[in-house]
Every structure is written in structure tokens, then in C-alpha cells.
Structure 1
């Protein structure tokens, strides 16, 4: 079986990131590893992952390895200034599940959007009564270096096709 639209794919991988600033590229550093004991599962064609990521996996078979780099523009693009917002600190009270330790600069806040889907925002600055939050994807502006192996391929269920979420996956 080959990777194609509407299949559930399980992969192991190491993700390294790098960034080019002022024409100087940083050395790639590891930010995530998923191994055979904790594979990453997604519905091919309905994953929400960068299009180029899926394009480079398309047609691969179980047991095949892969190694590729997605330039920032092929991955999550550059930061969108409109996604950097000041939000009243009162929105992040302990009654709403936020501890004072969570509200430190540099932390990522676990949030829900209007459709109750999980999302996160990075705290850029504590401005006293407000927090300056960055709602851009955490990997925006980075080149993504993937190296891994295709572990499983199977047909997606009707529910998985409808939701894009893989049943039984973490």
C-alpha cells in the first residue's frame, strides 16, 4: 500500500529547525522526535500539515525512509503581525485554569478557539494589565528538516475522513 489521499499514515521522524537571518543560516537543531513507540499519525490529504510535507511523502510505502527540508515559505511561512495581540491579563485567571507560573514571558498558553479546537499562543511580553501574545504557529519563520520512516499505512474510517483526526492516536 502506498501513501495517498484518505489513508492514515504513521511515521517516525526527527524534526530539526533552522532559520536564516541577515543572510546567515543557523545550524539546524532538533525540536521533536517521534519513534516507533510513539509514532505520529495523520490522515493524508486532511492533516492540516504543510502541503509540501504531504507532497514529499506522497507515494511512499511502508518501510521507506524519507529526508527532506521545507523552506519556511513551504512550511508555515513568515510571522503575521495581525496575529500578535494584546489581551487583558484578567482573561487568564486561576478560575479559568491559568496559574501565575503559566503567565511568564516565553511560555506557550494552551487555549481553545471559538470552535473548541486546541490552539496555543506564545507570551511575548507582560505589559502589566495585558499580555502581548503571538498566535502565529510556533514554527513560523523556520526551515523544517525532516528525517524519518513510514511505519504504517491504512485506509481511514469515515469518521477519520470527516474530522481529520485519527482514532486511537495520541
Structure 2
């Protein structure tokens, strides 16, 4: 079966940076990535590269920063009050997920002073060229519940028990 919109794709990937350092490897975690093609579950550049591929396909994809996590925006580096953090033990490099204007965002602590904390709300991979090695393990039609939810459902979920909504 060919990768196309409304199909669930299962794949393994290795993500590396410009120097070839491995940043993530689905095989190392023994958990392949499963996504619903055409529903913005993964980066658009990866979806474009996978479109039309079939089970067993292996490919390498390079995404420039603008196609991946965006360019770094220095306006997203700012100082905030130390009181904004509920814990006392803050160290540079710590990361938190917080609600943002466009959904969840990752906040990285850069510096900690007595009254302020310098944070960076750029994605940790913003501004970086990313290299993916992909292997398509399977492609299948999405069921109605997955289309309604906009993402694959775990195998133990009964699709008939998922609240139905009109599928566009």
C-alpha cells in the first residue's frame, strides 16, 4: 500500500544533526513512530518526502531549519521573575513544557540569578538542519475513529467506543 492521506504509517527513524550526532533513534527505544498521513502529525517536509512511498521503503531526508523547528528567534530569549517557577532547585539546561499561544512549548533555562531566570522558548532544535533516516514498516487505511481523532489510536482501543464526529 502506498503512503497517502488518511493512511496510518508506521516507521523507524534515526534523527541526527549537522555533525552526524544521533539526537533520537526509534529503534533504540524499540518503539516505531506511527502517524496519520495528511493530518499534521509530523513535520510537513517529512510528509512530503514519504508521500507515495511503500512499505519497506528506506530514505534519507534533510530538513533545513525553516522546514523543521524553525529559525532561532532571539526575541524568545528573555528574563523572567524567579517567582514564576514553583521550585527552588533551578539549573541551566533544565527544560519544562508550558502552554503557549500555539499550543505546548518547551522552555529551556539558560541562567539562574537570585531574582531572575533567563529562559529560551525556542524549540531546542530551532535553527538546526536535521537529517532523518527513515524506514517504512507498514501502511494501512485509517479507521473512522482515527480519522475523527486525527491520529492513530493505540491497538487496545476499540474504535466503536471512540466518540464519533464528522470527518471532513
Question: Shared fold by TM > 0.5?
Answer: yes
Contact 1:68 1:146 in 2 (8 A): yes
> What is the correspondence of 1:92-131 to structure 2 with a 5 Å cutoff?
92-94=85-87, 100=89, 103-113=90-100, 118-131=104-117
Quick check: which has more Rg, 1 or 2?
Answer: 2
The offset of 1:48, in angstroms, is 4.8
Partner Cα separation in structure 1 for residue 75 and residue 150 of structure 2: 27
The aligned counterpart of 1:17 is 17
Match of 2:70 in 1: 77
Residue 89 of structure 1: CA displacement?
A: 2.1
Whether the 8 Å CA contact 1:42–1:164 is kept in 2: the answer is no
How far apart are 1:110 and its partner, in Å? 2.8
Partner of 2:17: helix, strand, or coil? strand
Matched, 1:29 2:21: yes
Gaps of at least 5 residues in structure 1 are 19-26
Structure scoring higher RCO (CA < 8 A, sep ≥ 6) equals 1
Q: Say if 2:50 is the partner of 1:57.
A: yes
TM, length-normalised to structure 1: 0.77
From the superposition, tell whether residues 157 and 114 of structure 1 become closer, same or farther in structure 2 (CA, over 3 Å).
farther
Q: Distance in 1 between matches of 2:101 and 2:130?
A: 29
User: Normalization by structure 2: what TM-score?
Assistant: 0.78
Give the distance between the partners of 2:119 and 2:148, measured in 1 at CA.
Answer: 32
